[in-house]
């Protein structure tokens, strides 16, 4: 999954239909690992939001940030729909990254 020069928008969850978090990064593997290790004190560490449910790849960080804002501005239902379309079993997709 390490694609140099790419940016990622991602949604994390703590359990199926549980707490959600949307973020953007240039290194998805590293960033999700940081969430899992709770290296940054904040929302995701407080609520144990550390399972990768959804992600998109962008060639431009500007486009990734625009998409992140659109997802964050959407409803909870729309975020769940994104996860369920790509990941209907709510598996932790982190294990599939390389």
Q: What are the tens digits of pLDDT across the range 5-58? A: 799 999 999 999 999 999 999 999 999 999 999 998 899 999 999 999 999 999
Q: What is the pLDDT of residue 4?
A: 64
Going along the chain from its start, the domains and CATH numbers come out as 7-96 (3.40.1440.10)
- CB-based contacts of 66: which residues, under 8 Å, 6+ apart? none
* pLDDT band of 98, cuts 50, 70, 90: confident
Rounded CA separation 41/60 (Å): 28
- pTM tops 0.85, yes or no: yes
Are 57 and 3 a contacting pair, CB within 8 Å? Answer: yes
Rounded CA separation 37/82 (Å): 25
**Residue 2 pLDDT exceeds 80:** no
């Amino acid at each position: 999954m390490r694609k140099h020069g790419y940016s990622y928008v991602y949604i994390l969850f703590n359990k199926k239909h549980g707490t959600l978090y949307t973020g953007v990064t240039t290194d998805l593997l590293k960033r999700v690992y940081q969430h899992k290790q709770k290296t940054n004190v904040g929302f995701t560490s407080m609520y144990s939001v550390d399972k990768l449910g959804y992600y998109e790849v962008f060639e431009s960080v500007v486009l990734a940030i625009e998409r992140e804002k659109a997802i964050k501005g959407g409803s909870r239902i729309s975020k769940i729909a994104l996860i369920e379309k790509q990941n209907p079993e709510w598996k932790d997709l982190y294990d599939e990254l390389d």
